[in-house]
């Protein structure tokens, strides 16, 4: 069974940093591109970042470019999102999601909450 | 950036009814469109991709159609477990989501 389990969220002050993790199981992690997608409370979905299976291709939404860094460790079956210079508008539930060709998301984690507030 | 305009924002229908949700792209997305269902308190689940391909395990009462800039999701014979929010997503050029449609039972 495919499982994606996020962790690392919490309450953080504006301007500070936080690192999210997503541990994958039930599939060959190193064969799949992975994404971070977020959902502000009561709002819609916003794609945040993508990393290809071998980390050769990385893309970011304009809203986080230069502040967030996506990475992965295929030996540990783990996806990461390093978030710096956090703003109140980054407050959201962050999901990791597996990429299913041609560019959609077939498995999602349960999400981890990030709250940016003083 | 491609903008996705989804309608209606909310919808109330009776059990057994057929409902349709629309999504309009700001430019041609060449069938690069997916639909997701998000039940209350849960993660989104993929329903449809390539505008009309049903994802594995999704009931056949769900169907997608459209082309160019106009796409729709149809749910036949509405059931209580279909209460959810539905989102469209384009993947022709980067990735953007529609604002969602909240479906309730009347």
Q: How far apart (Å, rounded) are the C-alpha atoms in residues B96 and B88?
A: 8
Rounded to the nearest angstrom, the minimum Cα separation between A27 and chain B is 16
Do B46 and A47 count as a contact with CB atoms less than 8 A apart? no
Sign of the torsion formed by the C-alpha atoms of B26, B12, A38 and A105: negative
Kindly state whether A41 is in contact with chain B, defined as any CB-CB distance less than 8 angstroms.
Answer: no
Kindly give the pairing relationship between strand A3-7 and strand A18-25.
Answer: antiparallel
Q: Which of B46, B50, B55 is the closest to A102 by Cβ?
A: B50
Do A44 and B100 count as a contact with CB atoms less than 8 A apart? yes
* Cβ-defined contacts of A15-18 (< 8 Å, 24+): A15/A85, A15/A86, A16/A86, A17/A82, A17/A83, A17/A84, A17/A85, A17/A86, A18/A83, A18/A86, A18/A114
Tens place of pLDDT per residue across chain B (106 aa)? 999 999 999 999 999 999 999 999 999 999 999 999 999 999 999 999 999 999 999 999 999 999 999 999 999 999 999 999 999 999 999 899 999 999 999 9
What residues of chain A score a pLDDT lower than 70? Answer: none
């Amino acid at each position: 069974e495919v499982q994606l389990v996020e962790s690392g969220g919490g309450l953080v002050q504006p301007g500070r940093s936080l690192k999210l993790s997503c541990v994958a199981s039930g599939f060959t992690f190193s064969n799949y591109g992975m994404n971070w997608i977020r959902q502000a409370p009561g709002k819609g979905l916003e794609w945040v970042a993508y990393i290809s299976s071998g980390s050769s291709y990385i893309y970011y939404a304009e809203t986080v470019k230069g502040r967030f860094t996506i990475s992965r460790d295929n030996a540990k079956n783990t996806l990461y999102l390093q978030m710096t210079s956090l703003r109140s508008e980054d407050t959201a539930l962050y999901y990791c999601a597996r990429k299913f060709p041609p560019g959609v998301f077939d498995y999602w984690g349960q999400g981890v909450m990030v709250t940016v507030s003083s | 950036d491609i903008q996705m305009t989804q309608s209606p924002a909310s919808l109330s229908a009776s059990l057994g009814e057929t409902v349709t949700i629309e999504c309009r792209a700001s430019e041609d997305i060449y069938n690069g469109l997916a639909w997701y269902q998000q039940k209350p308190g849960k993660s989104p689940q993929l329903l449809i991709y390539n505008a009309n391909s049903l994802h594995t395990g999704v009931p056949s009462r769900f169907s997608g159609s459209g082309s160019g800039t106009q796409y729709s999701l149809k749910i036949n014979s509405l059931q209580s477990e279909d209460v959810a929010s539905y989102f469209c997503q384009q993947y022709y050029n980067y990735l953007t989501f529609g604002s969602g449609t909240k479906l309730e039972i009347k």
